[in-house]
Amino acid sequence: MRKFVLEILDLLSEGLRLGRGYLGGEMSSNPTMFVNYYPPCPDPTLTLGLRQHCDGSLITILFQDVNGLQILKDGQWIAAHPIDDALLINFGYVFEVVSNGKLKASEHRVVTNTKVPRQSLTYLAYPQNDVIIEPAKCLINEANPPHYRSMKFEDFKRKHNSVLSNKEEIMKYMSLNKPE
């Protein structure tokens, strides 16, 4: 899995002109895996499988077997259907910060269904706890000022966990105006 993730991260590093290897080291070498199980729900209008959120990772690789994942795009929830033999990649807040907002963390949620249980497997590529996350220096110049502040990843993660997916709170925390 790590080898696959490194290939993806190298391509993303190159695409953003960060230089090969920029994202592949301590920015992503502290991963966590989860297996999620969503039982069928007699009335899916009453509850979500997982509420709206963005991941606190650099990127998240996701395998899903049954419909349910939705991505927020231009104010609309779009179903991200499972595709045979395909993995889905979500950008997390760390990617948003490092890319200085060129790529935004994707907001997603999971809806339930009445018939079949759903399972998903996520691999969240997190930085090491003591890594400083900030907009990559090579993306910053006079015409492109930083939009996010520098944060120790462990502090960011604590905040992310404590505000339970409240995007407004997290954006405020990551913004340049937050006092150190």
Ligand X SMILES: O=C(O)CCC(=O)C(=O)O
Residues paired with 120 in a beta bridge: 36, 64
Q: Where are the alpha helices (DSSP H) in the chain?
A: 2-15, 93-98, 153-162, 167-174
Residues numbered 20-79 forming contacts with Fe ion, rule: CB under 5 A: 55
Two structure tokens written together for 97: 């910060």
In the complex, what is the shortest distance from the CB of residue 129 to ligand X, in angstroms, rounded to a whole number?
A: 19
The site partner of 62 among ligand X, Fe ion, none (C-beta below 5 to 8 Å per kind) is ligand X
In the complex, what is the shortest distance from the CB of residue 54 to ligand X, in angstroms, rounded to a whole number?
A: 9
In the complex, what is the shortest distance from the CB of residue 110 to Fe ion, in angstroms, rounded to a whole number?
A: 8
The site partner of 36 among Fe ion, ligand X, none (C-beta below 5 to 8 Å per kind) is ligand X
Q: Rounded to the nearest 5 degrees, what angle is found at the Cα of 45, between the Cα atoms of 88 and 122?
A: 20
Enter the DSSP assignment of 114.
S
By beta-carbon proximity to Fe ion, the closer residue of 99 and 108 is 108
Question: Is residue 96 at the binding interface for Fe ion, with CB under 5 A as the rule?
Answer: no
CB count, 10 Å around CB of 51?
A: 11
By beta-carbon proximity to ligand X, the closer residue of 88 and 133 is 88
Residue of 31, 160, 36, 30 whose CA lies nearest to 105: 160
CB count, 10 Å around CB of 109?
A: 17
Q: Which residues bind ligand X (CB under 6 A)?
A: 34, 36, 50, 55, 62, 64, 69, 108, 110, 120, 122
Binding site for Fe ion (CB under 5 A): 55
